[in-house]
């Protein structure tokens, strides 16, 4: 049985998170004993043969003028058409803005279940069991799929890509029947200032909290983030206070993140914040209160005045960068 | 569906689908079945993202008139949440009654779709996800079942004629999307500043109707095998105090954790 992967593209380029999904698809397909097939939607010719390097043996390409930008209803029709063509046992998407929007539409079209934001997939005995954090990570749910295919969205930065240098995939046209104009139309895409990487896809995150005392002091967090090549995050308290935009918020009513390094600056560690970041590989906490709950989840902590510690840390990292 | 001049004359029906969830301050305990949250001692709140959906629907009603209908699926307790939405200004509510173990997202979407369809709404609102199962599925599923367009994670909204222009956050930027009504929209934090219920609103809500109907039971599309607590993180260590500890921290991050 095959595993189908939705190939996510923006501006004609395959998004890096798709390589992670193809990597996991390759592992699942090996356990189930079938090929990995990609499905992509594009307005014109798309260079997808190289996706074999990421794990796809075959790519089904649906072409339509509507597909120049994301078109939820049209893309869902394309994925459904691909399911009819290759009868996969599982269909995988990235748990990205696009994948999270698209997968439930496909699930409803097919009348099957979907597991969102999975962090582990067990494939054995012909069946899949998906592991996924719920309550923003305060609990872990395992689910199985009474109907086929199983639909899953995979959390970014959790699954590894498995490169196969030099391999080429067969790209085959996929017929999709779309009647009429798109009812959802992307008019334009506005890029974030400074080409900011989304928190959910960041390797390193430096987050600031109320300990910074005011929005102007986020400069310290931004400088440390810059030295580390990190994305800036924030606690709910400072977002609610209007110091930072909502898309910077880490926690249960913000983003759940799993970077390799998470630095919490002046964040005490409310339960709803801890829920959103405690699956990070390494956590550093800088806080003046040695009793702050954040130290209970931190691998490394420094107690003291962040206004002294953070600039010293930035300088130390910059020194390291200069030697590298 | 009404169109053109007929649509302008007919009143705009908006449906807001809400969910009652465990308070975000809840410390999760696992129920004896090993598959669900132990409800003992849990405080139930309106899903935080649903507040933005309600607020936006009320603002649209203030601008364009019509009716706002709150819909929720769940046990008897969800009437508290529905009553809260009526206090904010919704006109009436429908309680899709379901007792027993939580349904999967597709089953919920099917049951809600059955309740929503006869209302012929111009807009159906959801929060972008419920903060319990974090699935973010029911909105786009319901849209698909009712063959309506859908925009998820809406952070800005403007209504003009039979179309809405919206913004949604994507990785590294924002998409500006135009959608034709009737449509399903799911709301993100930051879309608006939700209002609080007034005393007058709370009094008025007591007289507003809540219609109860049973949830149509369908077959399960997803089955929970287990619910467990995440592995506890090993206790970390305090590297030191003040800026003097910084060189040692950097050494540990490089040589021990190997993350920089």
**Per residue in B112-159, pLDDT tens?**
999 999 999 999 999 999 999 999 999 999 999 999 999 999 999 999
The answer to whether residue A185 sits within a structural domain is: no
Give the span between the Cα atoms of B203 and B184, in whole angstroms.
Answer: 30
A8 and A145 together in one domain: yes
- Chain B residues with CB under 8 Å of A70 CB are 175
Question: For the residues A91-118, what does the mean pLDDT come to?
Answer: 98
Query: Of the candidates A116, A135, A195, which has its C-beta nearest B132's C-beta?
Result: A135
Out of A173, A202, A234, a domain closes at A173
* Chain A partners within 8 Å of B126 (Cβ): none
Whether residue A39 is found in the same domain as residue A160: yes
A96 → closest Cβ in B165, B171, B229: B171
d(CA A143, CA B229): 15
Give the position of tokens 């748990």. A95
Cβ contact (<8 Å) for B24 and A272?
A: yes
B243 DSSP 8-state letter: G
Q: Which of B137, B188, B252 sits opposite A300 (nearest CB)?
A: B252
A42 has pLDDT over 70: yes
Q: Which of A198, A254, A295 has the CB atom closest to B238's CB atom?
A: A295
pLDDT exceeding 70 applies to what percent of chain B?
A: 96
Could you tell me if A252 lies within 8 Å of chain B, comparing CB atoms?
yes
A144/B225 touch (CB, cutoff 8 Å), yes or no: yes
Out of A141, A173, A205, pick the residue that ends a domain.
A173
Residue B26 pLDDT level (bands cut at 50, 70, 90): confident
Task: Write out the E strands in chain A.
Answer: 3-6, 9-10, 13-14, 36-42, 58-63, 90-94, 114-118, 120-124, 127-134, 139-144, 150-154, 170-173, 184-191, 204-208, 231-234, 261-265, 282-287, 300-303
pLDDT in tens, B69-109: 999 999 999 999 999 999 999 999 999 999 988 999 999 99
Tens of pLDDT along B197-216? 999 999 999 999 999 999 98
Interface probe for B, chosen from A121, A134, A136 (most Cβ of B below 10 Å), is A134
Residue A26: pLDDT band (50, 70, 90) is very high
Using CA atoms, how far apart are residues A52 and B83, in angstroms rounded to an integer? 55
pLDDT bin (cut points 50, 70, 90) of residue B10 is confident
Q: Do B228 and A139 touch (CB under 8 A)?
A: yes
Does A105 reside within a domain?
yes
- Put simply, whether the predicted model's pTM sits higher than 0.90 gets the answer yes
Contact B230 A116 (CB under 8 A): no
Domain end point (choices A138, A173, A208): A173
| Interface with chain B: mutation pick from A299, A310, A316, highest number of B CBs within 10 Å | A299
Scanning B65-211, the segments in alpha helix (DSSP H) are 78-88, 105-116, 138-145, 199-205
- Statement to judge: residues A10 and A112 lie in one domain: yes
A293 in contact with B, Cβ within 8 Å: no
The reply to whether A103 and A44 lie within a common domain is yes
Please check whether residues A167 and A307 belong to one and the same domain: no
Q: Which residues of B touch A107 (CB under 8 A)?
A: 105-106, 137, 141, 221
Is A53 contained in some domain?
yes
pLDDT band of A194, cuts 50, 70, 90: low
Q: Give A264-300 pLDDT, tens digit per residue.
A: 999 999 999 998 998 899 999 999 999 999 999 999 9
- DSSP annotation string for A21-56: HHHHHHHHHHHHT--EEEEEEESS----GGGGGGT-
Mean pLDDT of B12-16: 98
Cβ B152–A135 below 8 Å, yes or no? no
CATH code for position A71: 3.40.50.620
- Is there a contact between A300 and B153 if contact means CB atoms under 8 Å apart? no
Number of domains into which chain A is organized = 2
What is the domain range of residue A159?
A: 3-173
The percentage of chain B sitting over the pLDDT mark of 90, rounded to a whole number, equals 89
A181 located within any domain: no
Residue A67 and residue A157 in one domain: yes
Q: What is the CATH number for A252? A: 3.40.50.1220
Same domain, A52 and A143: yes
Look at A316 and B246 and tell me if their CB atoms are within 8 Å.
yes
Residue in A73, A139, A197 closest to B28 by CB? A139
Q: Which residues of B touch A290 (CB under 8 A)?
A: 238
A167 compared with B126, residue with greater pLDDT: B126
Q: How many CB atoms lie within 10 A of CB B227?
A: 21
Q: Is residue A209 scored above 80 in pLDDT?
A: yes
Residue A187 domain flag: no
Chain A residues with CB under 8 Å of B219 CB are 146
DSSP per-residue letters across B138-166:
HHHHHHHHTT--EEEEEEEEEEETTEEEE
The predicted pLDDT at position B45 comes to: 97
A212, two tokens: 């910074």
Does residue A188 lie within any of the structural domains?
no
| Chain A to chain B Cβ contacts (< 8 Å) | 286
Examine the domain organization and report whether A65 and A14 are in the same domain.
yes
Residues A167 and A316 in one domain: no
Check whether residue A19 and residue A142 sit in a common domain.
Answer: yes
Tell me: cis bond preceding A149? Omega within 30 of 0 counts: yes
Record: contact A104-B104, CB cut-off 8 A? no
Residue B3 has pLDDT above 60, yes or no: no
**What are the tokens at B12?**
């705009």
Query: DSSP class of residue B102?
Result: P
Q: Which residues of B fall within a CB distance of 8 Å from A200?
A: 171
Average pLDDT, chain B: 94
ipTM confidence: 0.94
Residue A19 shares a structural domain with residue A123: yes
Cα of B257 to nearest chain A Cα, Å: 7
pLDDT of residue B2: 47
B233–A70: do the CB atoms touch at under 8 Å?
A: no
Considering the domain architecture, whether residues A161 and A39 belong to the same structural domain is answered as yes
Cα of A172 vs its chain's centroid, Å: 28
The answer to whether residue A183 sits within a structural domain is no
Instruction: Report yes or no on A184 lying in a domain.
Output: no
**pLDDT score for B226:** 98
- Name the pLDDT band for B180 (thresholds 50, 70, 90): very high
């Amino acid at each position: 049985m095959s595993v189908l992967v939705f190939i996510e593209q923006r501006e004609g380029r395959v998004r890096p998170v798709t390589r992670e999904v193809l990597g996991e698809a390759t592992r699942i397909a090996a356990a189930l004993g079938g090929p990995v097939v990609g499905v992509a939607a594009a307005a014109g010719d798309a260079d997808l043969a190289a996706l074999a390097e990421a794990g796809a043996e075959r790519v089904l390409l649906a072409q339509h003028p509507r597909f120049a930008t994301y078109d939820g209803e049209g893309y869902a029709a394309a994925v459904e058409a691909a399911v009819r063509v290759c009868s996969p046992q599982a269909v995988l998407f990235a748990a990205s803005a696009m994948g999270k929007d698209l997968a439930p539409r496909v699930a409803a079209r097919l009348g099957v279940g979907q597991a969102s934001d999975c962090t582990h997939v067990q494939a054995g005995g012909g069946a899949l069991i998906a592991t996924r954090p719920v309550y923003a990570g305060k609990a872990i749910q395992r689910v199985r799929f009474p109907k086929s295919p199983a639909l899953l969205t995979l959390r970014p930065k959790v699954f590894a890509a498995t490169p196969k240098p030099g391999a080429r995939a067969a790209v085959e046209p996929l017929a999709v029947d779309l009647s009429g104009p798109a009812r959802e139309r992307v008019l334009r895409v506005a890029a974030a200032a400074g080409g900011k990487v989304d928190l959910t896809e960041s390797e390193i995150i430096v987050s600031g909290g109320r300990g910074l005392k005011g929005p102007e002091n986020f400069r310290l967090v931004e400088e440390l983030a810059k030295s580390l090549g990190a994305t800036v995050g924030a606690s709910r308290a400072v977002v609610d206070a209007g110091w930072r935009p909502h898309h910077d918020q880490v926690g249960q009513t913000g983003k759940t993140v799993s970077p390799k390094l998470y630095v919490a600056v002046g964040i005490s560690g409310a339960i709803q914040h801890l829920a959103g970041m405690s699956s990070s590989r390494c956590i550093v906490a800088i806080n003046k209160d040695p009793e702050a709950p954040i130290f209970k989840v931190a691998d490394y902590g420094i107690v003291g005045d962040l206004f002294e510690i953070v600039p010293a840390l930035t300088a130390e990292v910059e020194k390291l960068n200069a030697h590298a | 569906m009404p169109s053109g001049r007929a649509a302008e004359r007919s009143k705009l029906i908006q449906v807001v689908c809400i969910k009652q969830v465990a308070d975000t301050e809840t410390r999760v305990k696992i129920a004896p079945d090993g598959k669900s949250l132990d409800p003992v001692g849990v405080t139930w709140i309106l899903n935080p993202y649903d507040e933005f959906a309600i607020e936006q629907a009320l603002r649209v009603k203030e601008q364009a008139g019509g009716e706002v209908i709150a819909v929720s699926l769940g046990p008897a307790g969800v009437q508290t949440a529905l009553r809260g939405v009526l206090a904010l200004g919704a006109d009436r509510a429908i309680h899709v009654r379901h007792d027993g173990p939580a349904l999967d997202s597709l089953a919920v979407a099917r049951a809600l779709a059955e309740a929503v369809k006869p209302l012929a709404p111009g807009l159906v609102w959801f929060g972008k996800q419920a903060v319990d199962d974090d699935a973010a599925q029911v909105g786009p599923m319901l849209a698909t079942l009712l063959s309506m367009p859908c925009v998820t994670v809406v952070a800005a909204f403007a209504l003009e004629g039979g179309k809405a222009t919206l913004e949604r956050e994507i990785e590294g930027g924002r998409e500006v999307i135009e959608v034709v009504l009737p449509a399903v929209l799911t709301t993100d934090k930051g879309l608006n500043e939700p209002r609080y219920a007034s005393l007058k609103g709370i009094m008025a809500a007591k007289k507003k109707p809540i219609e109860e109907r049973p949830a149509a039971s369908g077959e399960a599309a997803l089955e929970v095998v287990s619910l467990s607590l995440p592995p506890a993180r090993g206790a970390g260590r305090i590297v030191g105090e003040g800026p003097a500890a910084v060189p040692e921290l950097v050494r540990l991050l490089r040589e021990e954790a190997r993350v920089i």
